[in-house]
Amino acid sequence: MTKYRHRSWRRMIALMTGLVFVAAACGGSDDSASTTEGDEPASKPTKGGELVFGAESDISTLDVGAAAQPADKVVTLGLYDPLMTYEDGELVPFLATSLEAGDGGKDLSTYTLTLPTDVTFQDGTPLNAEAVKKHFERLQDPTTACPCLDTVKAITNMELPNGPTGDTVIFTLASPDVAFGDTLAGSVGYIESPTAVAKYGDEYKNNPVGTGPFKLAEFVPGDRVVLVANPDYWGKDENGIQLPYLDKLTVKPIPDSGQRVSALESGDIDLFQTADTPTVKAAEEKGFSAQKISGSSSTILLMNNAKPPFNDVRARQAVAYCTNKDLINERVYEGIRQPSYSGFATDSAYYNADAGTPRFDLKKCQDLVKELGGLKFSIVCIPTPEADSVLQLVKQMGEAGGMEITLETQDQGAFVARMFARGGDYEGACFRSAQFQDPDAIRAGLTTDDAGNLAFYSNKEVDKLLKEGQATADFDKRKAAYDKVQEITGEEVPLITTLYDLFGNVYNSEKVGGLPPGEVNSLGAIKPGYIFVASSK
Amino acid sequence: MGILKGAVTRLLKLLAVVLVVSFLTFSLTKLLPGDPVVVLLGPQYSNVEVREAVQEDLGLNKPFLTQYVQYLGNVAQGDLGRSYTSKFETTELLKQKLPATIELMLLAQLVSLTLAIPLALFSAFRSNSRTDKAITTASFGLISIPGYAFAVFLVWLFALRFNWFPAIGYQPISEGIVGNLRSIALPLTVLVAGLTAVYTRLLRSDLISTLQEDFILMARSKGLPTRYILARHALRPSSFSLITVFGIQFGTLIGGAVIIEQFFVLPGIGSLAIESILKRDYLVVQGVVLLIAISFVLINFLIDILYTILDPRVRRAGA
């Protein structure tokens, strides 16, 4: 039985704020791709109390399937429960009671999902097979406009052997996919109340009803989301305490990172999330605690593999050899981040340390540029201080190797549209790769003509290996396939990963007792049901 | 009669302005590179079939003019459309965001005038005295400090060191006037500082020239009290530039509010505008711009009327 127990999965391509990012990446990751470090909860969880959480960006969606930004994730993980989740790097059922691949685990194109029989949505609707089926049908409808469309379209049939009110759904997929369970661990696996969808229609987005630990009390876009405990929540912690711990959680978007620290200092908020490394450091210096989360995701430099100058592999290699990631780390991130030479996290079981990805070597870079007779290109990115500092450095480094680099900025809306339209009208661009567990996550970014392949990379062998990796549950076979992919991409450099991201959940330990570990398939988000207040002195 | 006729003509002109603004905004949002559908679809955006389905669903596939005419028709009925991304009614979003912005702007204008008029009167009356120089220098300093920098300083001093006011957030008046005033104290101070400085300098220089007029000399020679002369004789003829700038400042305030609201996390029109522009949420952007345009035009219309009341010459010229 391939009971989702071993390797991990998750492949939602993440669209985020700040920078824009897609799961492209010259490697994939699986397994223990994400790590959380920092202050572990020192005190025992207590029930009750309320906290205010400062989010990095406005909450853009409360619907299922679409949550990608950490801010959206925190809220939606409160309202909904994913069918599957990761615990210590292992994929395990969460809302579901089990997920099994067909034919004793050998048939990866059929999956049987079993649900608990005693869970109801916050509006009293029972959770059953019909609700799950309707959920996926809704996401498959193009007008729902779910970024997950390709993923859910792979489901070709849903059978309810025990009837609509039963507890079982049998999924048939278009092709074998070992990462199906991983998919269900993301926002695609959040199940919404069919009654609420029917009642609110288009406005469901603002009236979300899930099975999660919190109910929505108030949503004022751009100002706050107020969540209150769901008294009928099914989940309990290991000590038998009913979740969530908190009575109320208010999430406030605070776009300015400096103001987030000030608000924590002044007591207006109790904790906040950030992707900005200097902010984490500044808050720690002021005596606040920080949970740091990193994994596979990193800021990447996309190169258009289909167009000069980067259709020449030597040009891509030259840029890679010229890029001194340690220097970027030191200058931009105060030396806290870790340079990345793979799309996989270094602690992933699929990470190939010997993939031969180019390391900084000015001489090699200069030789290649000479061989090419010069190298001239532009890099486009959105105008954030971070992107600006990184790209200025990349420009200087490239120029030391004899290149001519022009930096171009474009506002986020235009930039995202330009990249996602895949019109190919760029030479170099900044982006961010996804945070994922299952190595299949790299498939979209590297497969010829895939919507997620923004670098226009194409290599038949890589396509084949990625397909193989997706179609088997055998670890050794998968490992061999992804090792090879990393070797090929190490040589061909379809894109350059710079430094692994570092997400921080910064909190005032006088108010916050503890946080759950970071979600391994998300960019620093945590499950709010497990946040608790500090026990009163 | 003259005033009434003038008012009608002006109102008609204003209507034309609003129409032009609505058309320009509508065209500009369409001309901007980017597409709201990309925000919804992410990487699925390159899938033409899906993209077109969503565009059709949102009515974005129709010809430009059809979209505009439909939009105008809906606007005339008070329907500004629904946000593409959040699905909230634009009117609902505006209603949520207006109180903070209106309160902030009105209070900023009111407090600034209350401070600026006496300061300017004093400064002009005692021009070149030490106090005048101090006031002028201070105004000059306040104009020179960017609002953002001043905001950072205020947060550091009053929110972090003294903990008198919150660093972020807005409390609606309905939840208590004291909490409400505390929550806008810092952003209000930032706006008031800049405005007061401008108004003081402006009014002072106008007052100084008025005070050299013969009729002031006449009033003095009649032995009228200084206070009376300043308030009754000098202030009114000196206040035209002030009133003009006062109207224009509403526009500037809306611009400044974008930064101030973002910084202090106030749920206002400014932050709504910036969020919607970034998401290419056209209908919301158009709603915000339309609202701003109408308010701006109306305020300046009222100011035009104020001129005629203050200055008989304008009235006669109009007639």
- CATH (domain of A345): 3.10.105.10
Using alpha carbons, select from A269, A186, A263, A214 the residue that is nearest to residue A14. A186
Contact assignment for A256 to B278 by CB distance below 8 Å: no
Does the residue A197 lie in any domain?
no
Beta pairing class for A375-381 and A403-409: parallel
Chain A residue with CA closest to B89: the answer is: A203
Chain A residues whose CB is inside 8 A of the B86 CB are 60-61, 205-206, 221
Chain B residues whose CB is inside 8 A of the A60 CB are 39, 85-86, 279
Using alpha carbons, select from B11, B8, B9 the residue that is nearest to residue B294. B11
Does the residue A241 lie in any domain?
no
Contact assignment for A422 to B46 by CB distance below 8 Å: yes
Chain A residues whose CB is inside 8 A of the B265 CB are 223, 252-255, 259, 263
Does the residue A459 lie in any domain?
yes
The gap from C-alpha A456 to its chain's centroid, in whole angstroms, comes to 22
- In this prediction, residue A22 carries a pLDDT of 34
Does the residue A440 lie in any domain?
yes
Contact assignment for B38 to A142 by CB distance below 8 Å: no
Shortest Cα–Cα distance, B96 to chain A (Å): 8
Contact assignment for B96 to A416 by CB distance below 8 Å: no
Per the CB < 8 A criterion, the answer to whether A319 and A396 are in contact is no
Chain B residue with CA closest to A16: the answer is: B42
Per the CB < 8 A criterion, the answer to whether A225 and A219 are in contact is yes
Tens-digit pLDDT profile for chain A (537 aa)?
A: 344 433 332 333 333 333 333 333 333 333 333 566 655 555 689 899 999 999 988 887 888 887 777 888 899 999 999 999 999 888 999 999 999 999 988 899 999 999 999 999 999 999 999 999 999 999 999 888 888 888 899 999 999 999 999 999 999 999 999 999 999 999 999 999 999 999 998 889 889 999 999 999 999 888 899 999 999 999 999 889 999 999 999 999 988 888 899 999 999 999 999 988 888 988 999 999 999 998 899 999 999 999 999 999 999 999 999 999 999 999 999 888 999 999 999 989 999 999 999 999 999 999 999 999 999 999 999 888 888 999 999 999 999 999 999 999 988 778 888 888 888 899 999 998 888 989 999 999 999 999 889 999 999 999 999 999 999 999 999 999 999 999 999 999 999 999 999 999 999 999 999 899 988 888 889 999 999 999 864
Residue B175 contacts A where some CB pair is shorter than 8 Å? no
- In this prediction, residue B155 carries a pLDDT of 92
Contact assignment for A412 to B49 by CB distance below 8 Å: no
Does the residue A366 lie in any domain?
yes
A14-69 pLDDT, tens digit each = 333 333 333 333 333 333 335 666 555 556 898 999 999 999 888 878 888 877 77
Match 């973002």 to its residue by tokens: B262
Does the residue A496 lie in any domain?
yes
Separation between Cα atoms, residue A525 and residue A517, nearest integer Å? 9
Contacts of B26 (CB under 8 A, 6+ apart): B67, B68, B71, B286
Chain A residue with CA closest to B265: the answer is: A254
Contacts of A332 (CB under 8 A, 6+ apart): A277, A386, A389, A390, A393
Q: At what angle do helices A412-420 and B269-278 cross, to 10 degrees?
A: 20
> Per the structure block, which two tokens stand in for B262?
């973002």
**Order of strands across the sheet that contains A271-274:** A35-38, A289-294, A503-507, A271-274, A50-55, A248-253, A224-229, A214-220
Task: Give the range of the structural domain holding residue A443, as residue numbers without chain letter.
Answer: 296-501
Does the residue A414 lie in any domain?
yes
Q: Which of B31, B38, B51, B56 to mutate to test the interface with A (most CBs of A within 10 A)?
A: B38
Chain A residues whose CB is inside 8 A of the B170 CB are 223
| Distance from the first to the final alpha carbon of chain A | 49
Please, what are the domains in chain B?
2-76 (no CATH), 90-278 (1.10.3720.10)
Does the residue A234 lie in any domain?
no
Total number of domains in chain A = 1
Give the DSSP per-residue string, A295-357.
Answer: -S-EEEEEE-TTSTTTTSHHHHHHHHHH--HHHHHHHHSTT-S-B-SSSS-TTSTT--TTS--
Contact assignment for A15 to B42 by CB distance below 8 Å: yes
**What kind and span of H or E run contains A131?**
helix A129-140
A452-465 pLDDT, tens digit each = 899 999 999 999 99
